[in-house]
Amino acid sequence: MRVVHVCSEIYPLIKTGGLADVAAALPPALVRCGCDVRLLLPGYPVILEQVRNPQMLVELPPRFGASRLRLYAATLPGSEMPAYVIDAHGLYDRHGNPYADARNQEYADNYRRFALLGWMAAELAHGLDPVWRPDIVHGHDWHAGLAPAYLKAAERRSGRIAASVMTIHNLAYQGVYSREVFHELDLPPDFFDMYGVEFYGNVSFLKAGLFYADKLTTVSPTYAREIQGSEQGCGLEGLLSGRAQDLAGILNGVDPEVWNPETDAAIAANYGVSSLERKRECRRALQQQCGLAMQDTAPVFGVVSRLTDQKGLHLVLDALPDVIQRGGQLVLLGSGDAELETGFLNAAAAHPEAVSVQIGYDEGKSHQIIASCDVVLVPSRYEPCGLTQLYGLRYGTLPLVRRVGGLADSVVDASPENQAAGMATGIVFEGFNTEQLATAMRCAFALFSHHDAWQRVQQTGMRQQFTWDRAAAQMIDVYRQIMMLEL
């Protein structure tokens, strides 16, 4: 089975969130399961500069506003993974964030930039590379949403050329643009329809993908159910519940090459499930580095996150006085919402011995926080999968999470019954409010004071197997279902 994965970011070349981690780890896992996989990526400068052996496959007439358009075949650095890279002058040759300018304003021509990505995927399926043609085009999030639409348009002209899969990593980001842009997209006029790319009078890239793709997946079983209801469906619940038979929830995994406490080069001491005492060295190193009081009687809570409404971090800010009063500490790394940034910075300035805040993106520090803290906080309003709680589990850092989306599917609450059954891996709360978060944090203090019980929960978490090989096997089932339909 030949599959091309269409993604807008990939770790470690360019990353704004978990999508980049998935784009880096899922394709190699699929290869290990016997699939023939390639990637299709926009040629941002960081990608064009870092891929290996780029060979120009073809130069195409300018379109979507690109003044020069070339497709390269290359391999990703540090792996054998083949990647097609689109070099589009005027569209992708911008530094920094892949979606927004230095003032964090979304680029006004994003609809052209990502229409090109989807269009190129369909061209590959049409045989742009004479030696490799995908059976399946697998798009990720709204950036790749038009790929299934272009495939459908091509199918109309010349018969079926490839099947398609869309994976939803976050339904809240949909790529919605005014209807005026439709004529620039080169799609058949009747595609601007409720049964097509139209969404409340606008063009929606994500809806296009969800409507035209043969199969849909999202990144956890619980989120797959949640998005079929009005609370989390973001207006697409009707379409998604109508396609429930085509929608699979497949939980993401952890890449042990990147996240492994036994080998992680970014942390102060390496440790494993039977050498947890060395984790304390990491804890001390982080406290020292962050200028926190060197205490070991109350938990250190950690946050590594985009600071957006999704992540529920204003609840952490509200619960913070109680945590500080109990002798607990907080280390936060993140950036985003200006109000949250200021709120956390103010808390750190007022309580430097208890709160440390770093605004920005820092790969090494994210590993240090996950390894060194006692608890990783993920109190999300919604969470399609969530990766930091999976990293926390692997590092013996108890995830404290809200029971929602992939968090509900990956963390087992340390209730007395679950502890007695040897199943507990973290702390789970229900309601999206400060009171319930604060109560859960108090449970963390209580459990932390019982060293043996705490360690049992840590070890149970560390033994969990959230592997990419399992996710890849489930994805291949989805591919097989499509291929059966094709026969």
Among residues 6, 10, 18, 40, the one that binds ligand ADP under rule CB under 6 A: 18
Q: Smallest distance, Å, CB 384 to ligand ADP?
A: 7
Task: Kindly report the three-state secondary structure assignment for every residue of 266-328.
Answer: CCCCCCCCCCHHHHHHHHHHHHHHHCCCCCCCCCEEEEEEEECHHHCHHHHHHHHHHHHHCCC
User: Scanning residues 369 to 428, which ones bind ligand ADP (CB under 6 A)?
Assistant: 385-388
Phi-psi category of 202—alpha, beta or left, where left has phi over 0 and alpha has psi -120 to 50? beta
Please say which residue, 18 or 42, places its beta carbon nearer to ligand ADP: 18
Compute the distance between CA of residue 120 and CA of residue 297 in angstroms, rounded to an integer. 57
Which residue is at the shortest CB distance from ligand ADP?
Answer: 18
Q: Smallest distance, Å, CB 382 to ligand GLC?
A: 8
DSSP class of 1 = -
> By rule CB under 6 A, what count of residues binds ligand ADP?
18
Q: Does 222 bind ligand ADP (CB under 6 A)?
A: no
Q: Does 387 bind ligand GLC (CB under 6 A)?
A: yes
Among residues 246, 383, 409, 413, the one that binds ligand GLC under rule CB under 6 A: 383
Q: Does 384 bind ligand GLC (CB under 6 A)?
A: yes
In 3D space, the residue among 468, 483, 477 whose CA is nearest the CA of residue 219 turns out to be 468
Give the interface segment with ligand ADP, choosing from 15-23, 103-111, 122-130, 143-151 (CB under 6 A): 15-23
In 3D space, the residue among 392, 395, 401, 377 whose CA is nearest the CA of residue 222 turns out to be 401
- Of ligand ADP, ligand GLC, none, which one sits near residue 335, judging by CB under 5 to 8 A according to partner kind? ligand ADP
| Buried-exposed string 87-119: b where 16+ CB fall within 10 A, e elsewhere | bbebbbebeebbbeeeeeeebeebbbbbbbbbb
Compute the distance between CA of residue 446 and CA of residue 441 in angstroms, rounded to an integer. 9
Please say which residue, 164 or 388, places its beta carbon nearer to ligand ADP: 388
Q: Does 222 bind ligand GLC (CB under 6 A)?
A: no
Instruction: Please state at what angle helix 18-32 crosses helix 468-486, rounded to 10 degrees.
Output: 70
Q: What is the per-residue binding string for ligand GLC in 397-436, x denoting contact by CB under 6 A?
A: ---------x------------------------------
In 3D space, the residue among 231, 19, 33 whose CA is nearest the CA of residue 142 turns out to be 19
Q: Does 139 bind ligand GLC (CB under 6 A)?
A: no
The residues binding ligand ADP (CB under 6 A) are 17-19, 21, 304-306, 333-335, 361-363, 366, 385-388
The residues binding ligand GLC (CB under 6 A) are 17-19, 22, 169-170, 219, 252, 383-387, 406
